[in-house]
Structure 1
Amino acid sequence: MNEYYLLTLCIGILIIFLATSRKKGTKFPVVPGAYPILGNLINVDRLPDQIDDWCSKYGICEFRMLGKKWVIVADATELKTLSRQRPRQIQRFKPLRRALDDVAPGVFGAELPQWSLERRLMTPAFNHSNLTNFLPGLHKCCDSLVAAVRKEGGNNFIMLAARYTADVIGLVSFGQELESLNNPNSDIADVFKKLLHATTKRMLTPLPLWRIPILGPILDHFNGISSLKRRQNLTCEKILAQANPDNGYSILDKMVHLNRKENTKLSNIRLIGNLATLYIAGSETTATTMSWMLYFLAKFPDFQEEARRECFANSFDQFTTFKQALEAYPHLRSLFWECLRFYGPASFLFLENSQNTIQVADRTLDPNEYVLVVPLRWLAKQPQLGGSTFDPRRWLVSSSSTLNSKPSLLDPLPENLTLPFGFGVRICPGKDLAELEACTACAALLRAYDKIELVNPEEPQPSPTFQFAMIPDRPINLRFIQSTFTK
């Protein structure tokens, strides 16, 4: 954390403390150990672990941080009640919205009525019929990933995975081939990645100095943010100019088409912001999940071989639909959801009720009285979902037919399992695409290599650490053993 963020932290703590010092009442069991002004001291990198620990010890509870009161909604029934109140009565935490709107003003950080408009423009591109058009391109990206692994190896695999997901996002979101796997120094990927980390820092900064006239632009200039924004805007304007709204299938093509057809007048700034949003929301998150999947494929060699046989049992042609492609990999899909249960990119959500009173555990919360913390990972690790035992086969079910014993994925999946993609009406529209994107890449690597191993199997397992997404705290290093014969 550089001097700028340290300064804003100190100033923010002081201002927030002065603004909230009179609101000292509590409505829930209080987490012990809070200090005056500072509240509960938390290592931000390990914030998810701390929240999980408090959930287990105290259930629904509150703590103080940066002068604010936070309530952890550690109850699935209460979460259902809250989900019905989004987005009208409950919104995303304001500092997160501000950070996203400054860097990527799009649907991810939008609230009503803007959210309804942008969601309506974006959703048609994510239906399975439209996504079927991208299957050949997705397999091409997988071929590039296999080639990159042959050339570069599997050390710090998440870096390769991020380039793969960037290429998929370029294809599906922009209708363009970014070639990140063939060009590690891709300008588009570099700009979006740097802005992603800038967004994380701003989200965790208590005082948004960058929003102050005159001062904000000066700070952005010296931090390099202004230069990154200019590069992002130039890049996105070029992408926007190449959109094909009349005949294209990409998310951008569909959005521009509907924007013109319905005369909704969504500005170019918001269109560009949504391009950045698609990258921010879908790149590092899916890359991280893919990396965990391959880690556990290496960790469970018997399961790896089962998944490999399943991959070779399937073939695809020009008539394969998105649904058929997704259902071809029940083993990998089970692993995907088990990895999300333990290592999902979103371990928690920060929400707030800025305009209306709401009820949590029979207590009335006034507007802006509390920040609501939804402990996604803790809820997904409850005993009814398997507790703290990792099992890659957990979500497989056997066929009841004796003639066909091929397993399938449990359908429907438990509600709390899909929480990493959001809940209520604000569930991520790209959920199915992310699942197929990760599973197809793993399948391509399983077909290409006889065995996937950990480089140092005796090393302790990596732990997730909090940045914009939950990422491993050290590299996942893999060894891919080349096939010795043609299968």
Structure 2
Amino acid sequence: MARVLKVLGRVMRTGGKFPEAPCSRKNWFFGHARELTNPATRLDIIDSWCEAVGTCEYRLVSRRGLLVTELEDVAKLSALRPRTVQRSFMIRLAFEYFAPGVFTAELPEWTVERRIVSPAFHSNARLSEYGPKIVELSERLCQAVGGKKVAINATMYKFALDSIGLIGFGQDLDTLRGGDASMITECVRILGKRILAPLPYYRLIPFFGDRMDGGKARQRALFQFLQDVVRRGGPDHTVLAKLLEKNRSENNALADERLAGNLATLFLAGTDTTGTTMTWMVKHLAEDPALQKEARVEARRFANRPDDFGTVPLLRSLFREVLRIEGPAAVLPLQNATEPVVIAGRTVDPREYAFVIPLRFLGKHRLPPDEKDPTNFDARRWVDRKEKDGLRPWPKALMPFGFGVRTCPGKDLSELEALIAVCALLRRFEMTLVDDGKGPHKTTFAFTMIPDRDIYVNFRNI
């Protein structure tokens, strides 16, 4: 009851410190929530608010958010992480239920977890050890799509899931050939539902709340599975083997539960994101024969190693442009947890607002003034043959993997997965986008930003 009264008190509070987001469906109780009901239009609405007002506030029942649209303010928030500015409490609460790891950890635990997790990803030598497993799965991927019309979004999700299983701890989930990974995919579905819920029902209703959506049973099954994996230990050349090796050298070693939580983080943060990025890459290649032909030349000289990234500047440019326009992480929710922060000339007290960084808006509208057609998709936008790696430097507005010291440690692994998979397809097939008669594909919000419907592609053997 106390929690319910607290929510009602926040709902009844009037006034704010910042311009209010323009909303035609605002309600005294739900606030702006009704305007954001449809996942297919949610991000477009947020972008329209940012274009119309700039930095502005909104309310979802009792939760107040602040859309931060100026790069100097974003840079300030970046500099204050992780001590003063942390991940949004509600997002952290929902995510940590299924994956208590480095993604959700804050100080002082974050320092230890980051020190143990990062070495598994942060060198070309480490990533090269994972390459052969990804190549093995790319062969399965080619077998799964060869000579067929395929829903590429579902197929790429399975490829990403199988990659995490093999790279993470040597477990062959084999979903590309019919293996069952519902234990993980159901956790992703429930997590997305909880993040979207305007009321955190699983907190407001003791005991029954976290059982209303089946989350408790799924969480127990996932953790039992992953803790058993941790106790058995990981084969050589897996993320788990690296975690266990580093953990043994730590004075404050992580318990098996936290190690299992970091494996869960790999699944929940690394499947939708990488799978969706690869989906859009294939979609753009399949609808543009000239782009596909040019990319195929690069694919044939790529040796599936991070040291060879410089040989595929066009494909890397495509990877970046997908992240800019159709990236799986379109917003980044934060909060000032310990001290007041000045945003747009106004002082924000701790936990007063959730800071929401609109990543897609910044990527489209805060690029340098001389950028050509910044709101349009251009697969060749980042190619610059004069640069050492063939790519222009990323502007400060592009933050698809977060920013500052909290940048995602798996970002290079994600790019390696995408390049190996897409290059394998380019070498073997001519790809053609299937027109379903429903107009352009758009993004919609689930756990991450995903295609609003299946994207079908025909794969014809070369």
Assess same fold via TM > 0.5. Answer: yes
Contact in 2 for aligned 1:209/1:216 (Cα 8 Å): no
**With structure 1 as the length reference, what TM-score do the two structures score?**
0.87
| Equivalent-residue separation in structure 2 for 1:176 and 1:439 (angstroms) | 22
Match of 2:267 among 263, 270, 279: 279
Q: Which residue of 2 aligns with 1:185?
A: 179
Q: Runs of 5+ in structure 1 lacking a partner?
A: 1-7, 401-406
Q: Which residue of 1 aligns with 2:288?
A: 300
Shift of 1:217: 4.1
2:378 partner letter: D
Match of 1:21 among 12, 16, 19: 12
Kindly provide the CA deviation profile for residues 119-170 of structure 1, in whole angstroms up to 9, marking residues without a partner as x: 110000102211111221111111110011127x343211111111112111
Contact in 2 for aligned 1:396/1:408 (Cα 8 Å): no
Q: Which residue of 2 aligns with 1:134?
A: 130
Match of 1:412 among 388, 393, 400: 393
Contact in 2 for aligned 1:192/1:232 (Cα 8 Å): yes
Instruction: Determine helix, strand or coil for the equivalent of 2:260.
Output: helix
**Cα gap change, 1:13/1:476 in structure 2, threshold over 3 Å: closer, same or farther?**
farther
Q: Which residue of 2 aligns with 1:64?
A: 59
Q: Which residue of 1 aligns with 2:91?
A: 96
Instruction: Determine helix, strand or coil for the equivalent of 1:372.
Output: strand
**Cα gap change, 1:389/1:105 in structure 2, threshold over 3 Å: closer, same or farther?**
same
Contact in 2 for aligned 1:13/1:66 (Cα 8 Å): no
**With structure 2 as the length reference, what TM-score do the two structures score?**
0.92
Instruction: Determine helix, strand or coil for the equivalent of 1:160.
Output: helix
| Equivalent-residue separation in structure 2 for 1:424 and 1:37 (angstroms) | 36
Q: Which residue of 1 aligns with 2:343?
A: 360
Give the aligned length. Answer: 452
| Equivalent-residue separation in structure 1 for 2:319 and 2:77 (angstroms) | 27
Contact in 2 for aligned 1:158/1:287 (Cα 8 Å): yes
Q: Which residue of 2 aligns with 1:403?
A: none
Kindly provide the CA deviation profile for residues 167-186 of structure 1, in whole angstroms up to 9, marking residues without a partner as x: 2111222133332222x232
| Equivalent-residue separation in structure 1 for 2:211 and 2:74 (angstroms) | 42
Contact in 2 for aligned 1:162/1:287 (Cα 8 Å): yes
Q: Which residue of 1 aligns with 2:382?
A: 395
Contact in 1 for aligned 2:69/2:357 (Cα 8 Å): yes
| Equivalent-residue separation in structure 1 for 2:211 and 2:8 (angstroms) | 29
Larger deviation: 350-359 or 462-471?
350-359
**Cα gap change, 1:143/1:79 in structure 2, threshold over 3 Å: closer, same or farther?**
same
Instruction: Determine helix, strand or coil for the equivalent of 1:409.
Output: coil
Contact in 2 for aligned 1:62/1:72 (Cα 8 Å): yes
| Equivalent-residue separation in structure 1 for 2:22 and 2:135 (angstroms) | 52
1:251 partner letter: V
| Equivalent-residue separation in structure 2 for 1:209 and 1:265 (angstroms) | 34
Kindly provide the CA deviation profile for residues 326-382 of structure 1, in whole angstroms up to 9, marking residues without a partner as x: 223211111111111110001111111132100101211111222211110000002
Q: Which residue of 1 aligns with 2:409?
A: 429
Instruction: Determine helix, strand or coil for the equivalent of 2:173.
Output: coil
1:396 partner letter: V
Matched ranges for 1:107-256 at <5 A = 107-127=102-122, 128-150=124-146, 153-182=148-177, 184-186=178-180, 189-211=181-203, 216-221=206-211, 223-244=213-234, 248-256=236-244
| Equivalent-residue separation in structure 1 for 2:223 and 2:413 (angstroms) | 26
1:304 partner letter: Q
| Equivalent-residue separation in structure 2 for 1:72 and 1:226 (angstroms) | 32
1:323 partner letter: D
**Cα gap change, 1:68/1:209 in structure 2, threshold over 3 Å: closer, same or farther?**
closer
Instruction: Determine helix, strand or coil for the equivalent of 1:237.
Output: helix
Instruction: Determine helix, strand or coil for the equivalent of 1:378.
Output: helix
Shift of 1:458: 5.4
Q: Which residue of 2 aligns with 1:38?
A: 30
| Equivalent-residue separation in structure 2 for 1:427 and 1:333 (angstroms) | 19
Is structure 2 residue 317 aligned with structure 1 residue 323? no
| Equivalent-residue separation in structure 1 for 2:58 and 2:218 (angstroms) | 36
Larger deviation: 125-134 or 60-69?
60-69
| Equivalent-residue separation in structure 2 for 1:392 and 1:273 (angstroms) | 36
Structure 1 segments of 4+ aligned residues over 6 angstroms from their partners: 11-14
1:416 partner letter: A
Larger deviation: 61-70 or 44-53?
61-70
| Equivalent-residue separation in structure 2 for 1:415 and 1:13 (angstroms) | 41
Contact in 2 for aligned 1:347/1:470 (Cα 8 Å): yes
Larger deviation: 137-146 or 376-385?
376-385
| Equivalent-residue separation in structure 2 for 1:424 and 1:130 (angstroms) | 22
2:403 partner letter: F
Shift of 1:291: 0.7
Is structure 2 residue 323 aligned with structure 1 residue 340? yes
Shift of 1:12: 8.2
Q: Which residue of 2 aligns with 1:268?
A: 256
| Equivalent-residue separation in structure 1 for 2:5 and 2:198 (angstroms) | 10
Contact in 1 for aligned 2:11/2:61 (Cα 8 Å): no
Shift of 1:453: 0.5
Instruction: Determine helix, strand or coil for the equivalent of 2:66.
Output: strand
Shift of 1:216: 4.4
Q: Which residue of 2 aligns with 1:79?
A: 74
Contact in 2 for aligned 1:334/1:393 (Cα 8 Å): yes
| Equivalent-residue separation in structure 1 for 2:206 and 2:62 (angstroms) | 23
Shift of 1:231: 2.0
| Equivalent-residue separation in structure 1 for 2:98 and 2:109 (angstroms) | 17
Is structure 2 residue 435 aligned with structure 1 residue 440? no
1:173 partner letter: G
Contact in 2 for aligned 1:13/1:38 (Cα 8 Å): no
Shift of 1:252: 1.4
Contact in 1 for aligned 2:277/2:323 (Cα 8 Å): yes
Shift of 1:238: 3.0
Kindly provide the CA deviation profile for residues 364-416 of structure 1, in whole angstroms up to 9, marking residues without a partner as x: 1111222211110000002535421111111111248xxxxxx9532432232
| Equivalent-residue separation in structure 2 for 1:226 and 1:64 (angstroms) | 29
When the two chains are superposed, the root-mean-square deviation of aligned CA atoms in Å is 2.3
